[in-house]
Amino acid sequence: MFIAGFPEYTQPMIEHLVTMKINHWDGAIRELSAKALRNLAQRAPQHTARDVFPRLLSMTQSPDLHTRHGAVLACAEVARSLHTLATQQGRPVSDFLDEKAMHGLKQIHQQLYDRQLYRGLGGELMRQAVCILIENSALSKMPFRGDAVIDGWQWLINDTLRNLHLISSHSRQRIKEAAVSALAALCSEYHAREPGEAEAAAQEELVKLYLSELQSPEEMTRCGCALALGALPVFFLKGRLRQVLAGLRAVTHISPKDVSFAEARRDALKAISRICQTVGVRAEGPPDEAVCRENVSQIYCTLLDCLKDYTTDSRGDVGAWVREAAMTSLMDLTLLLGRNQPELIEAPLCQRLMCCLAQQASEKIDRFRAHAARVFLALLHADSPAIPHVPARPELERLFPRAAVASVNWGAPSQAFPRMARLLGLPAYRYHVLLGLAVSVGGLTESTVRYSTQGLFEYMKEIQNDPAALEDFGGTLLQVFEDNLLNDRVSVPLLKTLDQMLANGCFDIFTTQEK
């Protein structure tokens, strides 16, 4: 941008991007070129609007896929840039984009549809590009309200989200994100009858469509429609919140027919979290419009229940994706309540939340253990105001001082386990930390086993001469056994843990007393 600031370089750089880079074979270069044009358009707005934009519109109909894709992206970015400049100058966007340019922008989708260019592998690129065009057009407040193109755009978004399973796996995530972002912008700008009020017909149709697709036999369809519900603006959720949350809650439940749909459960949790942020908190507010006293417990229970998802299939521990999303959602919801209505955080829920996070922070997968520890500490050290009802807060702040834990790498077993094992000394956390540690001590990874064992034995050494503390620990150990008798994921590692504890004489004091 510095070089483009010199007038003699501005237009040649724009020409180089349009001529040489927009049609580049590498998709990343095309995307960066479109974003570069967005920046350069503000340096030469008249030239861009008068000469460059019409060329880009004609290139959207090119038979070459790369040229077509890059041109659509460039049109989206340039239109957004010119709108931003017009707004800054207090002028209408029509001062830059005339009626012919607006018409060309509207025709892009229909021309691609008529030529069946949304099909096949090339269609994947075009779907993503047009979704970005939709998002930028809506954010630029293009005067298309009530136009037939809005129905065409909505069809494209719906068709993309419902058929994600037909899209190649390497591009699926990006297309899903582009469609969801486009939906959020489209609904906010073109499906509002007036500011803050949705068109009743559009609201009814979209909410009904996405809720029905949440029970689709295709996992990717569930993912797309769950995220679509999470992206709806606040006025679309007004009067429908209870219905939407119930639909997303149903997706998080595991049944025999969809036990492997971990990605759908993950995206449903992300949607619930985003909806809570969108509608906000009102303690006495109606449960159909906001997070309130009447529905907050049910939302918490949905998220906490997902921390028990240990589903495994040929891909490994896919339930870890669900647990990670649940932890993030719980943190976002708790911090939201803490900032606005801390009285809605009840003591039993907060205790269950912190204990479950402590368990996840003691388990064997490095990445998810680190995430759990960060969430745990974020809630512990939250201020203005502090999260209420955190069990044993003074002891936790002494064990995990803010300054000391900031530099800890919780993904490293050597740093994480010795610190988490200290929680065994706090009765409120002992059961859950022992449950997490037992799975780690009895695991297979050498470094995880070594440092989790070291942390456990250090604690056992501290209480070696305290019969009361040993008896409490033994009682908790037995309780973990009893609760997981038929659960091989826990009971087998737990037997290995007990074997090591007995071999190291952790309970020798009891045999001495008997003699």
What CATH number corresponds to the domain at position 292? 1.25.10
Please give the Cα distance from 108 to 94 (Å, whole number).
19
Domain limits at 248? 195-253+260-338
Does residue 424 surpass a pLDDT of 70?
yes
Query: Which is more confidently placed, 11 or 179?
Result: 179
Structural contact between residues 231 and 183, judged by C-beta atoms closer than 8 angstroms:
yes
pLDDT given at position 466:
85
Does residue 487 surpass a pLDDT of 50?
yes
Please give the Cα distance from 164 to 226 (Å, whole number).
12
Query: Which is more confidently placed, 385 or 429?
Result: 429
Tell me how many domains the chain contains: 2
Q: Can you say whether the dihedral through the CA atoms of 226, 228, 230, 232 is positive or negative?
A: negative
Instruction: Kindly provide the residue ranges of all beta strands, DSSP E only, lying in 311-453, ordered along the sequence.
Output: none
pLDDT given at position 494:
93
Residue 401 within any structural domain of the chain: no
Query: Residue 212 — pLDDT band, cuts 50, 70, 90?
Result: very high
Q: 160-198 b/e with 16+ CB inside 10 Å = b?
A: bbbebbebeeeebeebbebbbbbbbbbbbbbbbeeeeeb
Please give the Cα distance from 161 to 92 (Å, whole number).
34
Please give the Cα distance from 445 to 414 (Å, whole number).
13
Query: Does residue 140 sit in the same domain as residue 158?
Result: yes
pLDDT given at position 513:
62
CB atoms near residue 340 (< 10 Å) = 13
Does residue 467 surpass a pLDDT of 90?
no
Residue 439 within any structural domain of the chain: no
Domain boundary among 338, 371, 396: 338
Please give the Cα distance from 449 to 457 (Å, whole number).
12
Query: Does residue 205 sit in the same domain as residue 145?
Result: no
Query: Does residue 8 sit in the same domain as residue 108?
Result: yes
What is the per-residue pLDDT across 245-258, written as a single tens digit (0 to 9) for each? 999 999 999 999 99
Query: Does residue 75 sit in the same domain as residue 212?
Result: no
Does residue 514 surpass a pLDDT of 60?
no
Domain boundary among 190, 222, 242: 190
Does residue 503 surpass a pLDDT of 50?
yes
Query: Which is more confidently placed, 514 or 343?
Result: 343
pLDDT given at position 337:
96
- Rounded to an integer, the average pLDDT of 182-186 is 97
pLDDT given at position 9:
79
Does residue 346 surpass a pLDDT of 90?
yes
The two tokens of residue 457 are: 């034995």
Query: Residue 515 — pLDDT band, cuts 50, 70, 90?
Result: very low
Of 160, 159, 138, 139, which is closest to residue 150 (Cα–Cα)? 138
What is the per-residue pLDDT across 25-70, written as a single tens digit (0 to 9) for each? 999 999 999 999 999 999 899 999 999 999 999 999 999 999 999 9
Query: Does residue 160 sit in the same domain as residue 199?
Result: no
Residue 249 within any structural domain of the chain: yes
Helix axes 319-340, 262-279, angle to 10 degrees: 10
Residue 448 within any structural domain of the chain: no
Query: Does residue 186 sit in the same domain as residue 71?
Result: yes
Please name the amino acid found at residue 33: S
Structural contact between residues 241 and 275, judged by C-beta atoms closer than 8 angstroms:
yes
Average of per-residue pLDDT values in the chain: 93
Q: What is the DSSP letter of 360?
A: H
Query: Does residue 6 sit in the same domain as residue 91?
Result: yes
Domain boundary among 338, 364, 382: 338
Residue 236 within any structural domain of the chain: yes
Query: Does residue 152 sit in the same domain as residue 199?
Result: no
Query: Does residue 71 sit in the same domain as residue 89?
Result: yes
pLDDT given at position 465:
84
Instruction: Kindly state the helix (H) or strand (E) to which residue 313 belongs, with its residue range.
Output: none
Give phi and psi for 36, each to the nearest 5: -65, -40
Q: What is the DSSP letter of 19?
A: I
Residue 94 within any structural domain of the chain: yes
Residue where the block lists tokens 């997303």: 248
Query: Residue 95 — pLDDT band, cuts 50, 70, 90?
Result: confident
pLDDT given at position 489:
92
Q: 146-160, 229-243, 495-509: lowest mean pLDDT where? A: 495-509
Query: Does residue 156 sit in the same domain as residue 219?
Result: no
Q: 64-68, 90-94, 198-202: lowest mean pLDDT where? A: 90-94
Query: Does residue 186 sit in the same domain as residue 208?
Result: no
pLDDT given at position 94:
85
Residue 315 within any structural domain of the chain: yes
Please name the amino acid found at residue 181: S
Residue 224 within any structural domain of the chain: yes
What is the per-residue pLDDT across 260-318, written as a single tens digit (0 to 9) for each? 999 999 999 999 999 999 999 999 889 999 999 999 999 999 999 999 999 999 999 99
pLDDT given at position 323:
97
Identify whether 385 is preceded by a cis peptide bond (ω within 30 of 0): yes
Residue where the block lists tokens 């429609």: 225
Give phi and psi for 426, each to the nearest 5: -105, 115
Does residue 512 surpass a pLDDT of 80?
no
- Rounded to an integer, the average pLDDT of 220-241 is 96
Query: Does residue 16 sit in the same domain as residue 148?
Result: yes
